[in-house]
Amino acid sequence: NSAKLKGDNIAQYSEQHHAQEQSWLPIEEKIRKALEWDQFELHYQAKVDGQDHSIKGAEALIRLKDENGNHISPGRFIPVAEQTGLIIKIGQWVIEKGFRQAKAWDDQGDKIKLAINISARQFQDRNFLIHLQQQLSETQVNPALIELEITESLLMDNAEQSIFIMKQLKAMGFALAIDDFGTGYSSLAYLKRFPIDTLKVDQAFVRNLETDKDDQNIVRAIVSLGQHLNLEIVAEGVETSGQLSFLNTLNVNYIQGFLFSKPDVAEKLFES
């Protein structure tokens, strides 16, 4: 009887799995083509100073369009890229493109720190550090102008290995941020040991900041924790002046969100 139950579960699982695989196929195909024909775009969203609202940094966000020119969100294609391993090539493309842009801003005299999202498989790839080193020498960008954003859940997945890799990234001169903080299963013991510079408060806590007392208290606690660990704090997903004023009372260092700017091509960064 239990064997039958188990069999059912397997049938159910593989059915789901199959459906998922099928829905991935067109996206996987699209990713391969985009890599081959250089169809990805990199957009940039400003991070502004919490006090004077001047632009202090930007986050690189990858963009992909389908054949009708409709935008396919990274929330959809990045997981497919992770699953298929294509994220390695995509990640390398983002680094190559991003480093060049950061170098160009620096040459123009714009004081911009560029944040680049790193996915799990990319972070754990044996060639990750080698490729970064290669691109540093090729572009001559100052690594202090590059901040690597790594999600909390990725770091906690294998925390000891994460620390080992992060230490090497710090030694290379990069700044490190924990992305989507508060949504992974953080351990404060590890947070203390991670050699990071910045905490990004997840937008899930920012969304209802004006009305939700629990979110207010969570954000207060996260910001205070970060400040006491000497970390810089970024709040992401800030859309309203009400959210902004709450964050200002906590002295959050940097604000990122549609209130100030939407992700767009590099040329538009200073226009909003």
Residue ranges that bind ligand C2E, judged by CB under 6 A: 45, 60-62, 73-75, 78, 91, 94, 117-119, 149, 179-180, 203, 236-239, 256-258, 263
Partner touching 109 among ligand C2E, Mg ion, none, CB below 5 to 8 Å by kind: none
- Check residue 186 for interaction with Mg ion (CB under 5 A): no
Which C-beta is closer to ligand C2E: that of 143 or that of 180? 180
Residues 131 and 94 sit within 8 Å (Cβ to Cβ)? no
Q: What is the smallest separation between the CB atom of 30 and Mg ion, expressed in angstroms?
A: 22
Q: Which residues make beta-bridge pairs with 116?
A: 60, 148
Q: Sign (positive/negative) of CA torsion 9, 14, 15, 19?
A: positive
Using CA atoms, how far residue 236 sits from 87, 109, 205, 207, in Å, is 24, 26, 9, 9
Cβ-in-10-Å burial (0-12, 13-18, 19+) of 253 comes to: buried
User: Which of 123, 194 has the CB closer to ligand C2E?
Assistant: 123
Distance (Å, whole) CA 6 – CA 102:
53
Alpha-carbon distance values, 163 to 70, 152, 197, 258 (Å): 39, 12, 13, 33
> C-beta of 1: minimal distance to ligand C2E in Å?
44
Specify the residue, 253 or 256, whose C-beta has the smaller distance to ligand C2E.
Answer: 256
Closest residue by Cα to residue 146 from 155, 135, 161: 135
Beta carbon nearer to ligand C2E, 62 or 86 = 62
* Per CB under 5 A, 149 contacts Mg ion: yes
Question: Which residue type, as a one-letter code, is found at position 160?
Answer: E
| Shortest distance in whole angstroms from residue 2 CB to ligand C2E | 40
| Least Cβ distance, residue 81 to ligand C2E (angstroms) | 8
Q: Which does 239 bind (CB under 5 to 8 A by kind): ligand C2E, Mg ion, none?
A: ligand C2E
Q: How far apart are CA 121 and CA 238, in angstroms?
A: 29
The DSSP H or E segment spanning 10 is helix 2-36
- The yes or no reply on residue 162 touching Mg ion (CB under 5 A) is no
- The least distance separating ligand C2E from the CB of residue 18, rounded to whole angstroms, comes to 26
152 binds Mg ion (CB under 5 A): no
Least spacing, CB of residue 62 vs ligand C2E, in Å: 4
Q: Among the residues of 53-158, which ranges form H helices?
A: 74-84, 87-108, 120-124, 128-139, 152-157
Minimum CB–partner distance for residue 118 and ligand C2E (Å): 6
Nearer to Mg ion (CB atom), residue 134 or residue 239: 239
Helices 87-108 and 74-84 sit at what angle, rounded to 10 degrees? Answer: 120
CB nearest ligand C2E: which residue? 257
Please tell me whether residue 243 binds Mg ion under the rule CB under 5 A.
Answer: no
User: Which residue of 92, 101, 117, 122 would you call a contact of Mg ion, by CB under 5 A?
Assistant: 117
Which spans of this chain sit near Mg ion (rule: CB under 5 A)? 117, 149, 179-180, 236
